[in-house]
Amino acid sequence: MEKEQRMTRTVGRPRKNRPRRRGKTAREEILDASSELFTRRGFSTTSTHQIAEAVGIRQASLYYHFPSKNDIFLTLLKGTIQPALDLASDLAESDASPALKLWALCAAETRILLSSNWNIGRLYQLPTLESEEFQEYHEARAKLEGIYRDLAAQIVGDDDPRIDLPFHMTLAAIEMRDNTGIAPYPLVDDALPAPSVMIADAVLDVLHAELPSCRGERTLELVARVSGETSQTKR
């Protein structure tokens, strides 16, 4: 009897019947809580204890899913960049025009930035990112920026200073949304957010490139194909 009581005490605090956070798994709940805390309080002032408390789990349970706070941070950052890199890889094998490729990449990336519950893009602005511990993120970001530049160069030429604009114009989506915990434009399969279309159109306008026909529909088809391939790879 005494042994059973000791074993019961070591189990720790049970999960609440109703989860505190959004997410189908504990890992998703941790990312949701971290997104809120990092974007509202900052990275340095947020502890893993606070994250675990916000989710309603023990701190030890958090470490089962993520080895460190840095790992959580990096996972959130990669979640905004990797879909764009996956699409760019698929676009490289497409016979679409450079203008359509650039438009699709811009629209798809802003779509991700506008569809999260919390404004994850704000993490790009945190001083913490200067740390060498996030080199993986910097390499991915540099790769994506290079793809934007190469596509723009195919439209206006390598020597045109405008080739640096598309990547930075895409990040305007971060300032075009709030951080209330409600996605301003939840992901849907048959439409792009209005701001995504507006920014992508503006990118081509700056480059004096003609807007491709059926660009929205073709972009959604590309995104759906890449998402399907990614899902199959993870299985």
What pLDDT shows up at residue 233?
Answer: 55
Give the separation between CA 228 and CA 189, rounded to whole angstroms: 12
**In whole numbers, what is the pLDDT of the chain averaged over residues?**
89
Please check whether residue 108 is in contact with residue 87, taking contact to mean a CB–CB distance below 8 angstroms: yes
pTM of the model: 0.86
For helices 69-92 and 215-234, what crossing angle results, to 10°?
A: 120
What pLDDT shows up at residue 7?
Answer: 38
Output the CA–CA distances (angstroms, integers) from residue 96 to 109, 129, 164, 201, in the order listed: 18, 35, 21, 17
Output the CA–CA distances (angstroms, integers) from residue 61 to 8, 32, 46, 73, 206, in the order listed: 17, 16, 17, 17, 49
User: Which residues of the chain have a pLDDT value below 70?
Assistant: 1-20, 229-235
What pLDDT shows up at residue 228?
Answer: 74
Nearest to 147 by CA among 201, 198, 108, 196: 108
For helices 48-55 and 26-41, what crossing angle results, to 10°?
A: 120
What pLDDT shows up at residue 22?
Answer: 72
Nearest to 21 by CA among 63, 65, 51: 51
What pLDDT shows up at residue 24?
Answer: 82
What pLDDT shows up at residue 232?
Answer: 57
Query: Which residue in this structure is represented by tokens 């893993």?
Result: 48
Give the separation between CA 5 and CA 53, rounded to whole angstroms: 25
